[in-house]
Amino acid sequence: MLKVEDIHTYYGASYMLQGVSLEVPQGSVVALLGRNGMGKTTTLYSIIGFVPPRRGRIVFKEKDVTSLMPYKIAQMGLALVPQGKRIFPPLSVKENLTMAARPGKDGAWTLDNVYSLFPVLKMRAKLPGILLSGGEQQMLTIARALMTNPDLILMDEPSEGLAPLIVRELGSTIRQLHRSGLSILLVEQNLHLALALAEYFYILSRGVIVYESGLEELKGNEEVKVKYLGVSVG
């Protein structure tokens, strides 16, 4: 579904990504982990085209998208759930959703399907987004991405700032999306959540992938978790 091949990305003179490579197989959940400021969001922004890499290649659905404009990449079936939610506050919940709608194949995401996944959004359909709780705004952000009928979703810290109960609900939602066949690249500070959802893991430190493994290897590697994530999970 996605191959990131040795990308080098800069913000002005700042050398942010120094040869990052990763893959997201079709239908999988892959997690990109690391401490704050290590380049995780920059990786997502490079993939979606907000900050194109100066070197390297990004291949989405077997097409080189490295130099494409973000809207072109989105039209190919890539969606972003940005950090900090970033809904359109003055617009109603329904308007936030319908403005993003894009036709899909059979079984595509429609307004009714999104409301089935997030019943609270149907209840709040006429409310301005700014009046939603933080958890509801995060649901709206995910639902808006689904309305584009993507093949791959990039999720940037979806659990940030949410209460534990809402985080558990979020985890259940991401599992449902995974079971539906959607591919997901998950950037997440909550290691418990990432371990519960992802099948493969990359750890980023100072713009470099310093570790990659499957679930069981990461669970058992206390040294890596302490050194690069600052946590220890048994």
3-class secondary structure for the chain?
CEEEEEEEEEECCEEEEEEEEEEECCCCEEEEECCCCCCHHHHHHHHHCCCCCCEEEEEECCEECCCCCHHHHHHCCEEEECCCCCCCCCCEHHHHHHCCCCCCCCCCCCHHHHHHHCHHHHHCCCCEHHHCCHHHHHHHHHHHHHCCCCCEEEEECCCCCCCHHHHHHHHHHHHHHHHCCCEEEEECCCHHHHHHHCCEEEEEECCEEEEEEEHHHHHCCHHHHHHHHCCCCC
Confidence at 232, pLDDT banded by 50, 70, 90: low
Q: Are strands 63-64 and 152-156 parallel, antiparallel or unpaired?
A: unpaired
Give residue 182's pLDDT.
93
Give residue 107's pLDDT.
61
Instruction: Specify the amino acid at residue 234.
Output: G
The pTM assigned to this predicted structure is 0.91
Average the pLDDT over 24-48 and give the result. Answer: 94
Give residue 103's pLDDT.
78
Contact 201, 233 (CB under 8 A): no
State which fold the 1-77+180-234 domain adopts: Rossmann fold (3.40.50)
What's the CA gap between 17 and 11, in Å, rounded? 10
pLDDT higher than threshold 50 for residue 234: no
CA of 87: how far to CAs of 91, 108, 109, in Å?
9, 22, 19
pLDDT higher than threshold 70 for residue 69: yes
Token representation of residue 1: 């579904």
Looking at the DSSP bridge assignments, the partners of residue 11 are 14
Confidence at 162, pLDDT banded by 50, 70, 90: confident
Short-list 24, 19, 23, CA closest to 7: 19
What's the CA gap between 146 and 55, in Å, rounded? 31
pLDDT higher than threshold 60 for residue 233: no
Least confident of 36-40, 82-86, 109-113, 211-215: 82-86
Contact 129, 135 (CB under 8 A): no
- Listed in order, the ranges of the chain carrying CATH 3.40.50.300 are 1-77+180-234
